[in-house]
Amino acid sequence: MPDHAEPPRTPGDLRDAARPGPARRPVEAVLFDFHGTLAQVEEPHEWVRQAAAACGVTLERMRATVLADRLVTAGRAGGPLPARVPPRLAELWADRDLYEHAHREAYTGLAETVDAGIEGFADALYERLLAPDGWVPYPGAEPTLRALREAGLKVAVVSNIGFDIRPLLAAWGLDALVDAYALSYEVGRCKPDPGIFLRACGMLGVDPERTLMVGDTPTDAGAVHAGCAVLVLPCADPGRDNGLGAVLDLALPG
């Protein structure tokens, strides 16, 4: 699944994570997390309604809301971690960000624990994750990426994820603003492992000490162990400002 929800961070945690070292060299590249940083999954009730519609079923808003609450609790890709993973799904869950099949089977398996009475519903819910309109790019994503490109900085997306997000960014017109992708299921490493950040820096041909990692969870802050500076953004609902503009204050010369 895309990068997972983490425990809330205090303001002090955010200040510390966002503060580059005092003697850092100029930034030449920026690494971005995907889910929760560049884009957010659609609202849960809309996710449920659209998936049901793909199965030929029209859900009233109240029923969609009740189902959405149950499915999010069971474990939604892009949502909070499930309270309980059934034993039969434990191995798939552990490998969900390393293999495409594990990602799909883990999340469809969790969805199937909720009896919606709709044939093919679990697969339709997962397909929404792969569709560009199943996500909402944050309003600061395009202007921030464009400003970095115009300034000559390189950009990579670094994500714990079990499917290809390139088609999503292409559909949003952002693909031309990204130079490389370090996706966990392709790299074989998951954040906070320093290896995935080092791989991204290698793809861009930049020194980690000249690189800024931007994310929204402590796993993204693991980039400090690879030598990168880190900016951790606050959580934000779909379509709301999540503070991406702060990247330009840190990455571009004053």
Q: What is the model's pLDDT at position 7? A: 47
Residues 126, 111 contacting (CB under 8 angstroms): yes
Grouped pLDDT means (10 residues each) for the chain, 254 residues: 49 50 76 97 96 96 94 92 94 98 98 96 97 96 97 97 98 97 98 98 97 96 97 92 94 82
Given CA atoms 73, 75, 76, 77 in this order, what sign does their dihedral have?
A: positive
Q: What is the model's pLDDT at position 13? A: 53
Q: What is the model's pLDDT at position 24? A: 57
Q: Give me the architecture of the 11-38+138-251 domain, per CATH.
A: 3-Layer(aba) Sandwich (3.40)
Q: Give the Cα-Cα-Cα angle 113, 115, 125 (nearest 5 degrees).
A: 75
Task: List pLDDT tens digits, range 198-240.
Answer: 999 999 999 999 999 999 999 999 999 999 999 999 989 998 9
3-state SS class at 231: strand
- Residue 219 Cα to chain centre, angstroms: 11
pTM to 2 decimals?
0.88
| Domain spans of the chain, in order of start | 11-38+138-251, 41-134
Q: How many CA atoms lie within 13 A of 65 on its CB side?
A: 3
